[in-house]
Amino acid sequence: MKRLAFMALAPFCVLLLQGCAGWQSALDPKGPAAGELAWLIWFFTALCAVVWVLVMIALAAPLVMRSRPGDEPLLLNAGAERRKMRVVVSAVGLTAIILIGLTLLSFFANRTLAAIGSDAALTIRVTGHQWWWEVRYENATPSRILTTANEVHIPAGEPVRLLLTSTDVIHSFWIPSLAGKLDLIPGHMNVLDIKADKPGVYRGQCAEFCGAQHANMGTFIIAEPRSKFDAWLNDQLQPAGAPASGEAKAGADLFLKRPCVMCHRIGGTPAGGTVAPDLTHIASRKTLAAGTLTMSRGNLAAWIADPQGIKPGSHMPVADLNGDELNAIVAYLEGLK
C-alpha cells in the first residue's frame, strides 16, 4: 500500500520539474509586482509544506506507537491526557503566531504593491467587452488619444496606470508574469499599476467567467524601450494608409458597403463603429480575435469567413462575401499596418 502511494506521488515530481514554463506564468515574474507575489507564493508554500509535513508525522505516529494497555475505552491515563493537553495548546498557540505573521506579511506585501505605480506617467484605459479588450491611451490633447484593441504596448521599465472598466459583463485583467488580476466591472473603475522590467511580450487572459468565449479572450502586454514605444504610438495615431493595390482599393470600398462598417472603425475613412475592435492598424497587431489566431493573411480570411466556427458565440457575424470579395477585404486589411 505504501509503495502505491509513492507511485502516485512520483509523477508530481516530474510535473514540478517541468517547471514554470510559459509566458503566462505567475511563477515566472517579469515585473516588480509579480516578483513580489512570486516570492510571497513561494514563502507561503514553503511554510505550509512544513506545517503539512508536521501534521502528517503526527498522524503517522500512532501507527508505530505501542498500544495503551487494556481494552477499556473509558480507562484513560490522567497524566498522558495532561501531557496531550499541553501539546495541543502549544500547537494551537504556534498556529496563531504563524497566522498573525502571515497576516502582517500579506499586509506589507500589499503596501509594496500599492507603491509600484505611484509615479505612473502613462494612463491607459482598458474596457472589457465580450470577448475582446478595448485599449485607450489617455491624453490631455484629444488628437493624441489612441484607441486600439487587445494588445497593450507599454514602455519597459516605467510604471503604467491601467484604468479598468467594462461596458457589458464582468471581466478580469490578468497578466500573470507582471501583476495580479483585477476585475473590470460595469459601473466601477478599478486602477491597476503595472511595470515590466524588461522589453518582452507578456500574455494574459480574462480571468472572470464572462460567457461563451471566456476561454478565447487573450491579451498581450508588449513592453518596448521608450524610444520604440514613442515611435509606435506616433505611428498608431496616424490615420489608415490608402489602399496600395487595386484589389485592396476594392476591399476598402467593400468594407464600407458591407456589415463590417456597422461595428468597426478605420481611422481616416467613414467607418466609425465603436462596438468592435478598431481596425485602423490591425495588421500591425500580432494576433486576431483577442489572441485566438496569429496575424496572417490566411487567418484573416478564415476569421472573416467563419467567425462562428473559430469563436462560437462571438459577436462577429458572418458577412455574406464571395471568394473575390473576401480576398479583396483581406488584401485591404492586410495593408493596414
Which residues in 211-250 contact other proteins (CB under 8 A)? 211-216, 218
Which residues in 130-149 contact other proteins (CB under 8 A)? 130
Question: CA–CA separation, 101 vs 90, rounded Å?
Answer: 16
Binding segment for other proteins among 74-82, 150-158, 268-276, 323-331 (CB under 8 A)?
74-82
Taking residues 5 to 24 in sequence order and writing x for each that binds other proteins by CB under 8 A, - otherwise, the string is x-xxx-xx--xx-x-xxx-x
Beta strands 218-224 and 200-205, pairing class: antiparallel
- Between 129 and 281, name the residue whose CB sits nearer to other proteins: 129
In DSSP terms, which residues pair with 147 in a beta bridge?
Answer: 136
Taking residues 289 to 328 in sequence order and writing x for each that binds other proteins by CB under 8 A, - otherwise, the string is --x--------------------xx---------------
Residue 315 beta carbon to other proteins: minimum distance, rounded to whole angstroms: 11
Residue 300 beta carbon to other proteins: minimum distance, rounded to whole angstroms: 18
Q: Is 89 left (phi over 0), alpha (psi -120 to 50) or beta?
A: alpha
Beta strands 160-166 and 122-129, pairing class: parallel
User: What would the 3-class secondary structure string for 6-48 be?
Assistant: HHHHHHHHHHHHHCCCCCCCCCCCCCHHHHHHHHHHHHHHHHH
330: Cα separation from own chain's centroid: 29
- Between 100 and 242, name the residue whose CB sits nearer to other proteins: 100
Give the residue among 138, 145, 199 at the shortest CA–CA distance from 163: 138
Under the binding rule (CB under 8 A), the answer on residue 275 touching other proteins is no
- 304-to-99, 252, 299, 300 alpha-carbon distances in Å: 54, 15, 8, 6
Binding segment for other proteins among 151-159, 168-176, 241-249, 322-330 (CB under 8 A)?
168-176
Question: CA–CA separation, 86 vs 24, rounded Å?
Answer: 47
- Between 34 and 266, name the residue whose CB sits nearer to other proteins: 34
Q: Tell me which of 145, 191, 231, 244 binds other proteins, using CB under 8 A.
A: 191
Question: CA–CA separation, 173 vs 70, rounded Å?
Answer: 63
What burial letters (b/e) apply to 124-146, b meaning 16+ CB within 10 Å? bbbbbbbbbbbbbbeeeeeeeeb
86: Cα separation from own chain's centroid: 48
Taking residues 94 to 123 in sequence order and writing x for each that binds other proteins by CB under 8 A, - otherwise, the string is -xx--xx-xx-xxx-xx--xx---------
Binding segment for other proteins among 2-10, 145-153, 219-227, 251-259 (CB under 8 A)?
2-10
- Between 56 and 275, name the residue whose CB sits nearer to other proteins: 56
Under the binding rule (CB under 8 A), the answer on residue 26 touching other proteins is yes
Residue 190 beta carbon to other proteins: minimum distance, rounded to whole angstroms: 4
Q: Tell me which of 120, 122, 185, 276 binds other proteins, using CB under 8 A.
A: 185
Question: CA–CA separation, 321 vs 308, rounded Å?
Answer: 15
Q: Tell me which of 46, 58, 244, 262 binds other proteins, using CB under 8 A.
A: 58
